[in-house]
Structure 1
Amino acid sequence: MSHQITLRFEDGVTRFIDCEEGERVTDAAIRARINIPLDCRDGVCGTCKAVCESGEYMLGDCVDDALSPEEASERKVLTCQMSPRSDCVIQLATNSDVSGTGPSSHHGRIAACQRLSDSTIAFSVELEKRAELSFLAGQYVNIRVPGTDQTRSYSFSSGPSGSRLSFLVRNVRQGAMSSWLCDSAKVGDLIEFRGPLGSFYLRPIERPVLFLAGGTGLAPFLSMLEKIVEDGGSPYPIHLILGVNTDEDLVGIDRLESHAQRLPNFTYACTVASPDSAYPNKGYVTQHISAAQLNDGDADVYLCGPPPMVDAVRGFLSSEGLTPRNFYYEKFAGTGLVVQTGEEHLAPVDVDEAFDLRMALELGAAQLTMGRLSSEQLIRFRQLAEATAQFVAGRRFTDVPRYIEANHAFHLFTIEASGNAQLIALYRQLAVQDYIVRALTDQIEIVGDLVQQHRDIVAAFELGDLNAARDVIALHARHSKATMSRALERMALGKAAPAAAVLAAAPATAPVPVPAPAPAPAPAPSAPIVVPQSMSQSMSQSAPQICPFMANTLPDYSHELNWPAGMEPFKVVDDGSQADPYEHYRWMREHAPVLRCQSATSDVWFLSRYDDVYQAIRNPKLFSSEVVSPPPLTFLTLFDAPDHSRLRKVVQPSFLPLALDPFNEQIAQRAEELLDAMIAKGGGDVVNDFAIPLSISTISTMIDVPNEDEEKMKFWSDETFSYFGRLARNAPGTGTDEQSAHAFFAYLKEAMERLAVNGSQSIGGHIARMWKDGLLSEKEAKELCAFVFIAGHDTTTILVANAFRMFAEQPQLLGRIRRNPADADRFVEEVARYRGTVQRVSRITTEATTVSGVDLPKGAVVRLLLSAANRDSRKFADGETFDIDRDSSGHLGFGNGMHKCLGAPLAKLETLIATKALARKIGEIALDPARPIQYVRGNNLTNSGPEHLFVKLGGLPA
């Protein structure tokens, strides 16, 4: 069964996609070629957080850090986990242009045109492809005035299911559209428009509703009423007030009367402003609004009309202390030139996002200003912090307006001190100040010590301690959001801020959230960290550090265990005995699922069962990635939030599935060339002859660096990866890896200098611009670019080589995929499960915990064996068998959660293309018995695949 999902973007654009029962929204969006915010796809990072405004759905598997129970109760969702159970409307925190979509173009012909009065024209359109247009009742389109390059905005007056589209137009003297309709339009004329657009649309009716229309602002309400009729009516009262200037402006009354006959709970009233009117009701709309219609504030108000009317109604409601639960408005110019929409309700999602954006901008400002403020500036910063203390006593605000003013000055200080025009412009567009004014009262109990946090932020700047500043800024954001949450709860109970404060805060237009240059979610508070309840099956709740007199006996070291005959004990660093480690993994899962090994510096613990690894990798609070602190290189796998999130957001969009589409043709062409060369010589080394040149040519193009020196680039990246792994383990080096890494960084710095100058749109160019704009340091930029290069080719090389190996071991799969190319996707996923690209990842415990009955102390170095977990038959039936018909979802071949392999989409794409090429071209494939597989060894972290894989190939008969 398919459900219609409405995706609502921040810029007002709306797109509609079909989502199958049980399908995740992100998968449906990608299938429809729409990029929505996305990263881990595992319900861990929170990148895809959105709001489901209506409809039923399954939430899916989400960790609390990504989506808290409180957020879930507010209908926040993670689209990578959410699967619909009905039609849904989802509000996305991004613009349509970022998602590679926009308003659709449509063509139709005039079906009817009628002058309803001297002031109003109605016309209808029959579309050439009506099924391709979906819209929400209340939305509008931009219509091109025939014969001109001008556009006008008009709301639909017809319902979403109508076969014809209808519109109401105010007849404006010398107006472009109204002149064309009056003087030239005839049935059959071509009409073009783009849309749908706008956030003014009918929400689910959950309380009494008041519609306020001015003139042709009646149009969207006619559409909404049609929708309500289609849905079978409403159990709540709906009242509409139509205000016009003169009697001749009273149009559409017959349709209102028809709706009143069909909807028992619908009533309407009209009023005419002209004192000369013969109509019974005279005056303005505001004179006919009553407190009863607002249901003591528990009502939804929709307002559409010209700007003076909208402003008058907003002012009236505020001055009278009539605050509806939700207030949606749309104001338009009589010419149809301008449409402004807004919402005047404080939704928790809007407030949280605004404070998160403020935090992200302040983190960016801290990066730019730390250590650069003069003594006079630091004194001023301290004075601003102390100024907020005057208006707080204990957990209460003593003077809310003055606190708000002082608080705003404090937060604005570092933004303006940065001197960065982009940061300053973005900060001034934030809605935080407006939200605070509208919600805070002296009755709100403050969460945390906000004033002391102001002082601690200043102290961090005085000491030049960037990490301390980041921690306090993030904690302050959490406590500020929690305080605002209490304020919103009081508002929901009708205990709103004083009307005068609300009136003072009302903006001319609704505040629009803007993207921050380096958004970063708040890290955990500094309180002790515990394991979530969901981990209780495999891990105990956090406990104090283990007491040596009370702790369970520590398990034997690996070398003290009775390993099977012929199997060397598992070691921290491979000496060649565990190059293909799956026999070790099988034994460990059953006999030592938490294996204790001895290294030169400390104990190292290896987890091999799926549940243990899965829970640990999804809990960065307890199992931190910062095994070396501070991380010596800007490699994402070494960072926790917020730095990990800040850096990953720089590069992750370039690895989204749709972002990789432009490279498909190049990858396919290169794969064909390399495969043909191997066929011509009867086989060869898959790694050196195919996988490496394929992956390096692709990632070089993505970064926009020359790929002529493939051997040098491969050597540099291998040495850098070795250097990276050595630093992460505090291990001795090779003697050349550090020098090679720095040579690689110097090369990439020179390349980025060039990319910044020529305006390259590549990922390398993007990193270069972030560096030049001061949002990344030089060290971060060049090391991040190196990480992208490694992530883009190392993962692909391993996965492609393992795919060749599986074909060599099960050659019948070539014929199957040749007959059924759709099976190639299942094949690639099973390769990633069965022979994972990442064997293990390193973590360090931040608190003592228990895993599978084994106590781990705080500070324990833990290796999560992803490939061992992937063959655990407790998760995957008969996990030691390669089976492309199995459900491999949930495998950890690319990791999971916030640290999921950045290059995974690229690796899967290149392997998929290679797989299909093999099936088309290869008749025979076998491992070369004279050249045994050689495995990657040394100091890298993955230890994950073949270094040399020789095969014999035979092409298909002509």
Structure 2
Amino acid sequence: MPVTDKAPSLADLLAWLEQLRDSGQVVHDDKQQCWHVLGHPEVREVLAEPGTFSSDLSNLMPPQEDFAVFAQGNFVRMDPPRHRKLRGLVSQAFTPRVVAALEPRIAEVTTGLLDATDGATRVDLIEQLAYPLPVIVIAELLGIPTSDRPVFRRWADALFDRADVDPEQSLQDARSQAMATAGPVMRDMNTYLLGHIRARRHHLGTDLTSELIQAEVDGERLDDGEIIGFVGLLLIAGHITTTATLGNAILSFDECPDAAAAVRADPGLLPGAIEEVLRYRTPFPRLVRLTTRDVRVGDVEIPAGAVVQPWLAAANRDARVFARPDRFDIHRARNPHLAFGQGIHFCIGAPLARLEARVALSIMLQRYRDITVAPDEPVEVRNPWLMVSVNRLPVDLRAR
């Protein structure tokens, strides 16, 4: 399974994290000018205290109009009480009950995408299934044309597939560089979404965008700028985690054929296998917080105003919590991974991502008796310092 050299490997990232961990579970980084939090209980502690570890990073970045527009409705970067009010507007659209009702549509889309391969024995799993499936589902929920999915992929690639991330660079310098790179993408996204929102205002439907237009916070309707951030966040975050998880699952099963065989023999193991994929190849490896006061994490004192990076990928391989953490083990009796975060910022789309992964993988395992990563074509990986995922995954398929 050759891998292109477009980005560092996951192994590189994990080795770097373990080298940091040699100095402790909470480590100050002079070069990056931040604190790395690596241990599972320590990361949980950071994520559980939004009053102390703020998600509002606006002070770390120079003002930029396109980012400011998007930030109005981006509740991922908000603290209470504003976060609670805005997240509450869409939380009902992602409850387990509501999401479960989407299962027939997810199965229909999955089957249609696989049928469209015309029985090909080799396909790019990302192009044929892992990307279009969740984009179609979330776009339909938002009332956005699914035919525009090449545009959405271009945005996601520009935001989460930069090869220039330098682990030695200070976080502030990295964010300034990212803003310069992503600014035109954000402008394009804001313009597109504003057009969609204005069209919906004139022709309201039953989709989530129409519901946001009619929603109220503290007795006031959301303006277009606030809805842009809402819809953009749901559109991008609503597909990219599932895309990553599907690709990561196939990679993990290919590396561990015994796990794939076990799931084929007992489909009841699939949900647990997906959780292990999320732990083993955590899609978003890290988060960023800003301390609002002096605080002790583990046995380390962190001052107010400090940049803190809780590493989900490191927490999910903490040997104090996970036995043999570097082993892909779908039979773990206990798997309290933090791939979807923790606390008030727990991923709102987690139920949908889990369902999409389960349905798609179940259909693939039933349909094909063998799914293997092509041995003679490159797997194109994203930069794991930003996201653990693949852009291109050629697989060989053998039908039953």
Structure 1 931/735 Cα, relative in aligned 2: closer, same or farther at 3 Å? Answer: farther
Name the TM-score, length of structure 1 as normaliser.
0.37
d(CA) in 2 for partners of 1:721 and 1:742? 16
Q: Which of residues 902, 906, 911 in structure 1 aligns to 2:348?
A: 902
Larger of the two Rg values belongs to structure: 1
Report the equivalent of 1:706: 145
1:51-90 equivalence runs, <5 A: none
Contact 1:608–1:869 under 8 Å retained in 2: yes
Residue 697 of structure 1: how far off its partner (Å): 0.6
Larger helix percent: 2
Report the equivalent of 1:953: 397
Report the equivalent of 1:864: 310
Report the equivalent of 1:653: 92
Report the equivalent of 2:29: 597
d(CA) in 2 for partners of 1:594 and 1:659? 39
2:183 is aligned with 1:738: yes
SS of alignment partner, residue 926 of structure 1:
strand
1:846-861 equivalence runs, <5 A: 846-861=292-307
SS of alignment partner, residue 855 of structure 1:
strand
Q: Which of residues 754, 757, 761 in structure 1 aligns to 2:206?
A: 761
2:248 is aligned with 1:802: yes
d(CA) in 2 for partners of 1:685 and 1:761? 34
Per-residue displacement from partner, 1:116-139 (whole Å, max 9, x unpaired)? xxxxxxxxxxxxxxxxxxxxxxxx
Residue 720 of structure 1: how far off its partner (Å): 5.6
d(CA) in 1 for partners of 2:125 and 2:28? 36
Q: Which of residues 603, 612, 616 in structure 1 aligns to 2:46?
A: 616
SS of alignment partner, residue 605 of structure 1:
strand
d(CA) in 1 for partners of 2:98 and 2:173? 31
d(CA) in 1 for partners of 2:369 and 2:120? 15
Give 1:624's aligned amino acid. Answer: S
Contact 1:828–1:908 under 8 Å retained in 2: yes
Structure 1 589/676 Cα, relative in aligned 2: closer, same or farther at 3 Å? Answer: farther
SS of alignment partner, residue 595 of structure 1:
strand
Give 1:705's aligned amino acid. Answer: I
d(CA) in 1 for partners of 2:33 and 2:368? 48
d(CA) in 2 for partners of 1:778 and 1:727? 30
Report the equivalent of 2:380: 934
Residue 874 of structure 1: how far off its partner (Å): 0.7
d(CA) in 1 for partners of 2:303 and 2:48? 19
Residue 875 of structure 1: how far off its partner (Å): 0.8
d(CA) in 2 for partners of 1:727 and 1:795? 25
> RMSD between aligned alpha carbons?
2.8
Residue 677 of structure 1: how far off its partner (Å): 4.6
Structure 1 727/786 Cα, relative in aligned 2: closer, same or farther at 3 Å? Answer: farther
Larger strand percent: 1
d(CA) in 2 for partners of 1:727 and 1:761? 42
Give 2:125's aligned amino acid. Answer: V
SS of alignment partner, residue 837 of structure 1:
coil
Q: Per chain length, whose mean CA-contact separation is higher, i.e. which structure has more relative contact order (CA < 8 Å, sep 6+)?
A: 2
2:67 is aligned with 1:638: no
Report the equivalent of 2:36: 606
Residue 951 of structure 1: how far off its partner (Å): 2.2
d(CA) in 1 for partners of 2:378 and 2:227? 40
Residue 621 of structure 1: how far off its partner (Å): 1.8
Report the equivalent of 1:943: 387
Structure 1 813/721 Cα, relative in aligned 2: closer, same or farther at 3 Å? Answer: closer
Contact 1:636–1:648 under 8 Å retained in 2: yes
Report the equivalent of 1:586: 18
Report the equivalent of 1:918: 364
Identity value in percent: 27
SS of alignment partner, residue 731 of structure 1:
helix
Contact 2:160–2:387 under 8 Å retained in 1: no
Per-residue displacement from partner, 1:358-413 (whole Å, max 9, x unpaired)? xxxxxxxxxxxxxxxxxxxxxxxxxxxxxxxxxxxxxxxxxxxxxxxxxxxxxxxx
Per-residue displacement from partner, 1:315-349 (whole Å, max 9, x unpaired)? xxxxxxxxxxxxxxxxxxxxxxxxxxxxxxxxxxx
Contact 1:703–1:762 under 8 Å retained in 2: yes
Report the equivalent of 1:751: 196
Report the equivalent of 2:3: none
Give 2:29's aligned amino acid. Answer: C
Report the equivalent of 2:234: 788
Per-residue displacement from partner, 1:523-543 (whole Å, max 9, x unpaired)? xxxxxxxxxxxxxxxxxxxxx
Give 1:761's aligned amino acid. Answer: T
1:438-837 equivalence runs, <5 A: 576-577=7-8, 579-580=10-11, 581-598=13-30, 603-629=33-59, 632=68, 633=71, 634-677=73-116, 680-719=119-158, 730-733=175-178, 737-770=182-215, 774-837=220-283
Name the TM-score, length of structure 2 as normaliser.
0.85
Structure 1 816/948 Cα, relative in aligned 2: closer, same or farther at 3 Å? Answer: same
d(CA) in 1 for partners of 2:261 and 2:296? 48
Contact 1:719–1:741 under 8 Å retained in 2: no
Contact 2:9–2:383 under 8 Å retained in 1: no
d(CA) in 1 for partners of 2:29 and 2:9? 14
Per-residue displacement from partner, 1:758-816 (whole Å, max 9, x unpaired)? 33222111112237984223211111110111111111111111111122122333343
Residue 895 of structure 1: how far off its partner (Å): 0.7
SS of alignment partner, residue 199 of structure 2:
helix
